[in-house]
Structure 1
């Protein structure tokens, strides 16, 4: 299988005993392909979005606070942007009482999260339809909550009785429904209690090492982008794992180096350049350097989870001969329901695993769509930190349209596998 694979197998045998070549091959291929086929394209998308944030300097947010009627629509648009940055921006506005609870739900329902990068890279047509449906459902449900309440007060009361939290998820009328015109939480004068960004650690050596790793990471990403683009133009053929100046050699080296640097940046380096909590930290785009740093850190996070998703899928399929697609077909309408329920888990990691499974043909389009609506990404964490009731209520309310739309799509088109996958 090539000198790289042979060397890895030999080293593994010396440390852990005999390792079947198939195990090593799956590992090396996943490490390489995850970066070239996904992360390089994610890096470009994140960089473009970060650059827009850098150029606009937050002007959109200031205008939003002045236009209440447009809030759910703009919130959904912010959530629809790939990654969690747009949605994270909206949460402090709600906690200050600047936007309505319907805006929060619309934002979270439309949130594409970091899993959007995976689908955009591997199945752009599927992303267009799934996130388009999520956007429509988010806007409609957000305005419905602001206009009619839809029982927000009752859910809020029930959650507070279960969780015993003191904060309020929304102002309600005597009838237990949200007041017309939106449900705003109390004004919080001090938001410092929500620490969503870990402090930067001090180490001159590690800081400079991380800065060098960032520069080398972008070189690897640029090379991987070219290799990945050629890979798609050639019809996605099998690429041998090898070293050298050939196309396969460059493909392999860029993938392995890029993944190794991503793991370093995510697990070690981020703490020395002001990104202690990747995905949860406040997006900062004060300079171009910070913009590039943010894009690299965000992509590194995605890379870690993409590699994990590849391995979680490939190993059971290869070693246990599990047909995940057949299991999804057998599940029937339960498949989109499972996708919606998975979206209740905060964060982007599980959603990236699901997105990767879709790209591998393991789950149907209806499941992807339900999860796209239900998932709240990392945007839920700042809300949890200050107002747990509002966070739980919002998460419940994003699951409702996810179940409705997911089941409807499943009944309309059936268990559609591989739709839009490149």
Structure 2
């Protein structure tokens, strides 16, 4: 009972911090949404890679959704979108900021840099091998101007943040904490992770293919407990993109598969290199 109460307390604390951060990010998105398209319209490729990845580092699903919308409208390239998805950490970003803020910021910075270079590299690869992209894309519907504060609270804070995201984050956080606690006490998880770290790197990449926020929290919690190295967390973070891929799946399954393939290869390659040198 004591362990259960402690896990519930940790879950509530993390979830409250996550809720505050999600609301702040959503406010930023509402006030800046209309300015993004005009900013990107005449942008050169490097600006696309830089700012798409920068948008991708915004915690939550906002960055992923925004970049998918820009891609669907033909405003950013396939490489810029793929690079931005490397930088995306999904709703797990909020949990990382709550659990290990300094290391989380370092992780986001690394993902941002990898995202920029990945965008350039993927576009060059797509151009060289004449890979078709955005064949079945349609224009994404963009919501109109938010009518008033009441509308914002009902549609955004309750309808989106609480109803769609926050309760799932709380459940996944509690589940991840409980799994680690149980594993440490009864399954000697600390010994297993120390002996088979490389296995967790590949498993993290495979779990990252799931277009959903939540599963990645297992690796976030393992890292927070010091059970896996940075390279494993980075690999999982590169491949996964939270809910960001969901709207892309509905517009172009082909592009979604290509994008996840590129990011999986990048995640495994960079993760293995860092793992070999001891990170």
Judge conservation of contact 1:71–1:99 (CA < 8 Å) in 2.
yes
Match of 2:174 in 1: 307
Matches within 5 A, 1:391-406: 391-406=256-271
Matches within 5 A, 1:9-408: 24-36=1-13, 38-69=14-45, 70-146=47-123, 148-149=124-125, 152=126, 176-178=129-131, 184-186=133-135, 188-189=137-138, 191=140, 286=146, 287-288=148-149, 289-290=152-153, 291-293=156-158, 294-297=160-163, 298-318=165-185, 321-408=186-273
CA 57–392 in structure 1, closer or farther in 2 if over 3 Å, else same? closer
C-alpha distance in 2 between matches for 1:394 and 1:77:
18
Aligned length: 271
C-alpha distance in 1 between matches for 2:218 and 2:18:
15
Judge conservation of contact 2:56–2:88 (CA < 8 Å) in 1.
yes
Unaligned segments of structure 1, at least 5 residues: 1-23, 153-171, 193-281, 415-422
Judge conservation of contact 2:176–2:221 (CA < 8 Å) in 1.
yes
C-alpha displacement of 1:387: 1.0
Q: Report which of the two structures shows the higher radius of gyration computed on alpha carbons.
A: 1
Judge conservation of contact 2:87–2:108 (CA < 8 Å) in 1.
yes
C-alpha displacement of 1:58: 2.6
CA 190–333 in structure 1, closer or farther in 2 if over 3 Å, else same? closer
Judge conservation of contact 1:342–1:375 (CA < 8 Å) in 2.
yes
CA 365–190 in structure 1, closer or farther in 2 if over 3 Å, else same? closer
SS in 2 for 1:349: coil
TM-score of the two chains, using structure 2 as the length reference: 0.86
C-alpha distance in 1 between matches for 2:81 and 2:43:
15
C-alpha displacement of 1:324: 2.0
C-alpha displacement of 1:109: 0.7
SS in 2 for 1:333: helix
Judge conservation of contact 1:94–1:184 (CA < 8 Å) in 2.
no
C-alpha displacement of 1:317: 3.0
CA 116–25 in structure 1, closer or farther in 2 if over 3 Å, else same? same
Q: CA RMSD in A?
A: 2.5
C-alpha displacement of 1:140: 0.2
C-alpha displacement of 1:375: 0.7
C-alpha displacement of 1:125: 1.9
CA 187–67 in structure 1, closer or farther in 2 if over 3 Å, else same? farther
Judge conservation of contact 1:80–1:110 (CA < 8 Å) in 2.
yes
Unaligned segments of structure 2, at least 5 residues: none
C-alpha displacement of 1:343: 1.1
Judge conservation of contact 2:207–2:236 (CA < 8 Å) in 1.
yes
Which has more helix, going by share of residues? 2
Match of 1:267 in 2: none
CA 323–58 in structure 1, closer or farther in 2 if over 3 Å, else same? farther
TM-score of the two chains, using structure 1 as the length reference: 0.59
